[in-house]
Structure 1
Amino acid sequence: MSDMITTKQRLLNPKFWLGVSFFVVVSLLAIWAVQQLNLWLKDEQRLPVQEIVIAGERQFINDQQVEAVIRQAQPGSFFELDVNKALEAVEAMPWVHKASVRKEWPSTLKVFLVEQVPVAHWNSDSLLNQQGSLFNGQLSADAKALPQLFGPGGSEQTALQGYRAMQQLLANSNLQIEELELSERFAWQIKLNNGIRLNIGREEFIDRVQRFVDVYPLLAKNSKTVDYVDLRYDTGLAVGWKQQSES
């Protein structure tokens, strides 16, 4: 009975309702403050990404394009920007091999880039990087000349590995591979920088290229100009000569 009287007295006490009112007002103010803070943090004009700092060795990547890609993919304030989505947008650029993106208080975005390193053209419309992976970059006319590799889809790494192995042998004779073709049956043909074409075939291509390297000094001394060398033999080779034009 006494407890009921105490509760009734508390409810009739003005100080009790004053305290309740104060608690409600404070709670509402706190909710309003949080909402205003969220709106303020999302306001691009108040906390924009003022600076995008790009680092990493790069020859083909345009910094202005990187910044434009980030701002287009992730418009908004510094706090609203999604680092993972910005990273996806940057790594989708043709010349970007890998990247990292991080925020730096209060308004800076730092981007570190690892650029694609082209080592060969592939089927005339793509490029191969050092790992033998395709990417669709564009080279300027004055860029370093790269070998032309051709082959069926999915054979990029096989072709690149074969190119490197054969080029290592040919370099001893100061010869460079300009074109390499890997057929559907995985037979090798190459064209050298002196115009000689080598028909190597499918089997023991390293041994066959070494055979050409061994005999090349004799061919170079000949007055005739070599057109092609057919190495598809177990122990020998066949030489085709260019026709000499009459003076």
Structure 2
Amino acid sequence: MEEVLALIEKKKQEFAKSGLFEFMRDQSINPRQRLAFAPCVAPFVMSFGEFNKYVFREEPTNDPLQEIINNHTNEDDHHWLWFLADLETLGINKTLKFSDALNFLWDEETKASRWVTHQIFRYAFGASPIAKLLILEIIEATGNVFFSTAAPIAEELQTITQKELLYFGCFHLEVENNHSKDVPQQRQSIKNIQLSIESRQEAFEIVEHLFEAFTQLTDELLVYAKTHSFEQPFAKPGEILQPLKAA
């Protein structure tokens, strides 16, 4: 497994160079605008909660690796509640007709958020504990890049609004950095997993494809953040907006 984990780390470093994260770090842009894409990640965020409950988790189990996965899913299956709270804090929880909300969630502008969930389900449903653990490692790697970049924006906004962001802020980042499967003993046991040649090749394929899907998602979020005002996040843009400068 150590070779596969090394590939994940390599892909993580490449992923961190995404244009979205450069945009999010640009302090000349209004911090709210740097999170204007927030509604677009709803399909992934809400689906991830269900993946943890119904796809990754298998109870009861006598498999030590599946037990690690189960513990991890219990730590991750409720983070969507923090996302909903942040939509309210960010002022994005606007009133929409139900049909308009459905149209947004299944629009072309949010297809990458749906696509990444389909790809996770593709590889995780009915998979072995090793494959499930691998998928969680990829999600954790991409999530670490994202939340490490989002947390400083949340701090900027908290200074302005005196309101804390849970999902996008330091609270979530700290939770992600302290998962039980990441304690040294667990990390070493994961590294020591022996893979057959066939399993290793399958693992490499999963890493390549899921990082590609997450990269497509960041590309989509960047376009949305540049073409939609945080003040009217669901309005169809007539033209690309100039990034709103911080006051």
Q: Which has the larger radius of gyration?
A: 1
More helix per residue: 2
Q: TM-score, normalised by structure 1?
A: 0.20
Higher relative contact order (CA 8 A, sep 6+): 2
